[in-house]
């Protein structure tokens, strides 16, 4: 059965029933399996507080909540940038975005918006993920994994820089954000729906393609990177979900993503693959014009916690105990090192990898983060650093009529002040001095770590 016949025949049924009974945590391994499967589900602009398991009251996410209940939920997980392209570069390479050169939101290289890429390039930033960067898909494919990317790419739309050129065997999706033009839908290297694509059915199309990919590759190890377009604006939902949530169309989008997640889990269950599959669910950055950052200050495009803190849920029934919660600080580039560790693939030795293997945390063998410090970048500007409960914010642009200005530095105690409302820098001069020394050393040595 080819992909079109599979889609025409309908998707795997019974997701809601299987998940309602949590029946998908089966006790078996697929016959002959030697490598775990890996799935990363990445939302676009989903807020920390937009899921039921993170406190959402108006948006219903039973399938994602069930995934959290069968695995581990992180409360202090961060994107590597507060905007789309750099965050994705960090996730797929395991490196702080300034190391890759992808520090700005990328735009189409055709049409009126192409002039923005010219400005980005003249400023010294990359307009696509450089070809000498290794992606997670590159390394897993070399190790024998089937690799699929579905959804938003946003790491370059020029030939040579698209998903099929960066380690992915199969691709369906948009090459950049859904508020950019022109906006065609690609399957591999061909346009399958001309611009402007009908966005109402994007989540359904992504889900159908993901289910086809799972069916095609159920007999071998696979890596699926499902990067949803939503809830990035403009917001769209299919007729089955439009107007159904209590949180407007934003909630409709999130509830359709929850449905999609349930379909994927149901398919894994039906193929006997769920026990041996690591599923990780997260977002590329905090919410933009709508959505909830939870109790955090700030939103997308800010290095306050609301722009950087995102959900992370990980489930792997064969290895991760159920119902775990971690408040340890971690970052999305850790998914690179973690996935390679799960697959038994060595980290690249010719470059600095900033991400750390979270498998000991996931399995409960370690209780502490492998990071002593995490650094918050806005473009190439290092704006903050966190260690333990402390966050030192160097500067932040604050609107101040008529022009605005940079404020800071600030020291926040995130344990007692998670909303970053109170500057306690004068109360803790020794901690401030430590951060200043760390930042001086980091800035001095950072550029040397682009490649070894």
The domain locations on the chain are: 3-28+35-375
Q: What is the pLDDT of residue 34?
A: 75
Using pLDDT thresholds of 50, 70 and 90, give the confidence band for residue 447.
Answer: confident
Average pLDDT over residues 435-441: 97
Full-prediction pTM beyond 0.85? yes
**Hunting for tokens 């939302």 — which residue is that?**
43
**And the tokens for 148?**
């699929």
371 is catalytic: no
- Number of other residues whose CB lies within 10 A of the CB of residue 196: 12
Kindly write down the DSSP assignment for every residue of 269-302, as one continuous string: HHTT-GGGEEEEEEESS---SSS--TT-S--TT-
Q: Is 43 a catalytic residue?
A: no
pLDDT tens digits for range 50-89? 999 999 999 999 999 999 999 999 999 999 999 999 999 9
Instruction: Assess whether pLDDT exceeds 50 at residue 24.
Output: no
CB 356 within 8 A of CB 370: yes
Cα 81 to Cα 374: distance, rounded to the nearest angstrom: 12
* Three-class secondary structure of residue 340 per DSSP: helix
* 90-114 pLDDT tens trace: 999 999 999 999 999 999 999 999 9
Cα–Cα–Cα angle for 66, 68, 69, rounded to 5 degrees: 65
pLDDT at 377 over 70: yes
pLDDT for residue 64: 98
Give the helix ranges, DSSP H, for 181-247: 202-216
pLDDT value at position 397? 67
SS3 of the chain: helix, strand, coil, percent, to 5: 30, 20, 50
Residue 14 — pLDDT band, cuts 50, 70, 90? very low
The SS3 call for residue 94 is coil
Per the residue annotation, which of 84, 232, 253, 296 is the catalytic one? 84
Q: What is the pLDDT of residues 240-296, one digit of tens each?
A: 999 999 999 999 999 999 999 999 999 999 999 999 999 999 999 999 999 999 999
What percent of the chain clears pLDDT 90, i.e. is strictly above it?
A: 88
Catalytic residue among 43, 53, 154, 253: 154
Tens of pLDDT, residue by residue over 289-326, are 999 999 999 999 999 999 999 999 999 999 999 999 99
Report whether CATH 3.40.720.10 matches the domain 3-28+35-375: yes
pLDDT of residue 68: 98
Beta strands in 90-236 (DSSP E): 146-151, 170-173, 185-187, 190-193, 222-227
């Amino acid at each position: 059965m080819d992909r079109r016949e599979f889609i025409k025949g309908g998707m795997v049924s019974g997701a809601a029933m299987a998940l309602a009974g949590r029946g998908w945590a089966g006790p078996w391994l697929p016959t002959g399996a030697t490598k775990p499967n890996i799935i990363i589900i990445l939302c676009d602009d989903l807020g920390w507080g937009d899921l039921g398991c993170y406190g959402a009251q108006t948006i219903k996410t039973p399938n994602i909540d069930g995934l959290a209940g069968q695995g581990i939920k992180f409360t202090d997980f961060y994107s590597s940038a507060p905007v789309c392209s750099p965050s994705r570069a960090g996730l797929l390479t395991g490196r702080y975005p300034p190391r890759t050169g992808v520090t700005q939101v990328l735009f189409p290289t055709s049409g009126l918006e192409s002039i923005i890429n010219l400005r980005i390039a003249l400023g010294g930033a990359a307009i696509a993920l450089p070809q000498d960067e290794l992606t997670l898909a590159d390394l897993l494919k070399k190790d024998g994994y089937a690799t699929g990317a579905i959804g938003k790419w946003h790491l370059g739309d020029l030939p040579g820089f698209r998903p099929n050129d960066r380690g992915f065997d199969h691709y369906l999706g948009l090459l950049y954000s859904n508020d950019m033009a022109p906006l065609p839908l690609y399957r591999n290297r061909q346009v399958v729906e001309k611009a402007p694509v009908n966005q109402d059915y994007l989540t359904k199309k992504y889900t159908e393609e993901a289910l086809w990919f799972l069916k095609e590759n159920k007999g071998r190890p696979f890596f699926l990177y499902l990067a949803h377009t939503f809830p990035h604006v403009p917001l769209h939902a299919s007729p089955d979900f439009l107007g159904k949530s209590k949180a407007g169309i934003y909630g409709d989008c999130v509830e359709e993503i929850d449905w999609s997640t349930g379909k994927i889990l149901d398919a894994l269950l039906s193929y006997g693959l769920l026990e041996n599959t690591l599923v990780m669910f997260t977002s590329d950055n905090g919410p933009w014009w709508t959505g909830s950052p939870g109790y955090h200050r700030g939103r997308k495009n800010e290095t306050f916690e609301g722009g950087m803190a995102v959900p992370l849920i990980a489930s792997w029934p064969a290895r991760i105990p159920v119902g775990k919660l971690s408040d340890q600080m971690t970052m999305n580039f850790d998914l690179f090192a973690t996935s390679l560790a799960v697959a038994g693939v060595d980290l690249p030795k010719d470059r600095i990898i900033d991400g750390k293997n979270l498998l000991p945390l996931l399995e409960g063998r370690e209780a502490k983060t492998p990071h002593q410090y995490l650094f918050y970048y806005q473009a190439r500007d290092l704006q903050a650093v966190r260690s333990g409960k402390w966050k030192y914010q160097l500067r932040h642009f604050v609107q101040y009529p008529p022009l605005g200005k940079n404020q800071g530095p600030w020291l926040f105690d995130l344990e007692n002040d998670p909303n970053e409302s109170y500057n306690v820098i004068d109360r803790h001069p020794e901690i401030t001095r430590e951060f200043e020394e760390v930042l001086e050393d980091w800035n001095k040595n950072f550029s040397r770590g682009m490649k070894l």
